[in-house]
Every structure is written in C-alpha cells, then in structure tokens.
Amino acid sequence: MEHDSMDDEQQADPAAMLALMQDQRRRTAHWVNRNYAVMLITWAAAWIVGFGAIWSAADSGGNPWFRIPTTPAWIVFGTVLIAGIVVSAVAGIRSGVGVRGPSRLAGAMYGWAWSLSMFGAGLLIGAVQRTGADADVMAVLSPAIFVLLVGVLYLAGGALWRSPVQYALGIVMIATAIVASYAGTPTNYLVYATVGPLAMLIVATLMLRGVIPAEGSR
C-alpha cells in the first residue's frame, strides 16, 4: 500500500509541475498582452487627439465643423506625443517584470527604443526646419517621419517577439504614412487621426480579449 502511494505521488508531481508551468505561462502572456494593449490604446488616443487638433488648427487645418487656435493645437500635439513616449517606455519596461534573462532585457530595450527614436525624430525635424524648408513641405514631412518610425518600430517588435500581428501593424503604419503624404496637407492629418488609431484599437481589443497574442510561439 505504501509503495502504491509513493508511486502515485511520483506520477502526480510531474503533472502538477506541468500545470504550474502552463499557468505561469498564461499569466505571463496575459501580462505582456495587457501592457502591449495599453501601449496601443495610448498611441491611438494620442493620434486621435494630436492629429485631430492639427487638422482643426485655425491657420492650416481642414476641419469644416470647428477650428482651434494654431498655437494651442500644436501644444496639444506635442503634449500627447510626449505622453505616448513615456507610456511606451514604461509599458516596455513593465513587460519584462517577472521575466528573467534575454526576454527581460529585450523588453526593456524595446521600450526605450520608442523614447529614443521619437526624441531623435523630433531633433531631426528641428534640424530640417532650421535649413529654411518650405512650410508646406514640413507639414507633410514632419508627421510622415514620426508615423514611418512608428511603423518601423512595430516591424522590429514583430520580429523581436515573433508576432505576425505586430509586424502587420507596422506595415499598416508605413502604408498610412505613404497614403497620407500623397494626400497632402491638411488631409494628411485627418488620415493620421483616423486610419492609424483604428488599426491600433482593433489590435488592442483583440489582444485584451485573448484572440491574438502579443508574442508568437518561440
């Protein structure tokens, strides 16, 4: 009897260990999904508010329903952009909490990549403006640089986490930058305020519902 009891315990231990590992894996996947969804929702809101404000600017906007002063419109755009950068960095770093080894380092580095890239893009745009570039050219080029960079970062995230969804989202962002640029100003701001956020919100919703994972199989 004692021998049978010991055999049952030995057989139960691997099963219990496997169940524990699977539960931990589900918890980690849920944590990563939630952090990435927060990042997407934040950027979707930032694009809607920021690009919507510029599209509604009094001087160069195209909003047929209402207009807001140009200076406050750009202040709103800059504020939400900074907020998006901060949230992205925090979400990327938090995605590595509870994870050890290369995955944790990769998550932290990816989060900081957003902040560094956006900051660098801002400096680059400032340098181009100092050369005396035409205002109409800057109105198309400036947002296109940021959106193109967002697309590249999503491509990098998709490759890093082996996630086809993130990679596809990166392609959508790059396509959005191209289409908006060809549309010209001020229509480009409307494209950025609608197409990009819609794609982000769809992906974020599917992630929060567990339909699609932020990370692919490893």
pLDDT tens string 156-193: 988 887 888 889 999 999 999 999 999 999 999 999 99
Structural domain for 166, as ranges: 32-208
Residue 166 lies in a domain: yes
Query: Stretch 147-162: mean pLDDT, rounded?
Result: 89
Weakest mean pLDDT among 58-72, 108-122, 144-158 = 108-122
Residue 214 lies in a domain: no
- How many domains does the chain contain in total? 1
Residue 20 lies in a domain: no
Residue 13 lies in a domain: no
CA distance linking residue 53 with residue 68, whole number of Å: 7
pLDDT score, position 161: 78
Residue 215 lies in a domain: no
pLDDT tens across 56-86, in order? 998 888 999 999 999 999 999 989 988 887 8
Residue 154 lies in a domain: yes
Does the reported pTM lie above 0.85? no
Residue 129 lies in a domain: yes
Residue 48 lies in a domain: yes
- Close Cβ partners of 196 (under 8 Å, ≥ 6 residues apart): 44, 47, 147, 150, 172, 173, 176
Q: Are 154 and 170 in contact (CB under 8 A)?
A: yes
CA nearest to 124, candidates 144, 152, 153, 151: 144
